[in-house]
Amino acid sequence: MIGQTLPAILIVLVLALWPLALPPERRGRIWRRQGFIWFSLVGGFVALFIIGETFSDPGGLQAAAWVSMWVVPALLLSWLAFSRPNEGAITLTSVCALTTAFNVWAIAMGEWWWKFENEHGPISSIATFAATVPLGVLAIRKSWIAGWLLVATALIPEFLVFLREPQRGAISLGFLTTPGVVAGVLFILAGSSERKFPRGFTRIGGTQPPQDYPDIPGSTGKAA
């Protein structure tokens, strides 16, 4: 299992540790940007892959209907998360809880459900992806809660698979959960940092930059 989860651990360490060299009030912004860029790149690739596979088989109007069933809700939830983050956080918490409950049920069905998905496609994985896409948008305004929702939604079902079938579950924990867990950890770090140092915070106050950080534009580079 360690070997399967090693990629996620290494990525998190690299992305999470280097901002520690920056002033504390700047770390949250960097972590949030890292998480958003990472999640956007991986999410865009996964979305294109799913859409391409769907239009390859079954293709035509049936494929368009299948794609619209998850793309339209994901876009609507993303709009809600961006325009009304408070309501979006509540809604997405419920959506992620329902998605996790569905995945737990699917795991409980065992071989029957896996055979069903082999014939009809990875329904549970696509449902999870559609539920987590808006969390990347929510993280722009509410990084902390978006991060925890990402980590929980990605890890809980796959951890249950690991308990049921260790070999298959180890592979899932290593590869299927890596994108969500990496982004989630970065968003959690950003949210935790911004609770201590809100956006726009300066050590001196007003618009005057801190005097003891030469890398901040406008500072003297001399300690106060």
Instruction: Identify whether 18 is part of a domain.
Output: no
Instruction: Identify whether 216 is part of a domain.
Output: no
Instruction: Identify whether 224 is part of a domain.
Output: no
Question: Tens digit of pLDDT for each residue in 74-131?
Answer: 999 999 999 999 999 999 999 999 999 998 888 888 788 888 888 887 888 888 889 9
The answer on pLDDT for 211 being more than 70 is no
Instruction: Identify whether 59 is part of a domain.
Output: yes
| CA pair distance 153, 181, nearest whole angstrom | 9
Q: Which domain holds residue 121?
A: 2-12+28-195
Instruction: Identify whether 95 is part of a domain.
Output: yes
Q: What is the pLDDT of residue 214?
A: 40
Rg (CA), the chain: 20
Instruction: Identify whether 120 is part of a domain.
Output: yes
Burial class (CB in 10 A: 0-12, 13-18, 19+), 122: middle
Helix (H) or strand (E) holding 145: helix 143-164
Whole-model pTM? 0.76
* Amino acid at position 150, single letter: L
Residue scoring higher pLDDT (68 or 57): 68
Instruction: Identify whether 102 is part of a domain.
Output: yes
Mean pLDDT of 22-36: 83
pLDDT band at residue 203, thresholds of 50, 70 and 90?
low
**Number of domains within the chain:** 1
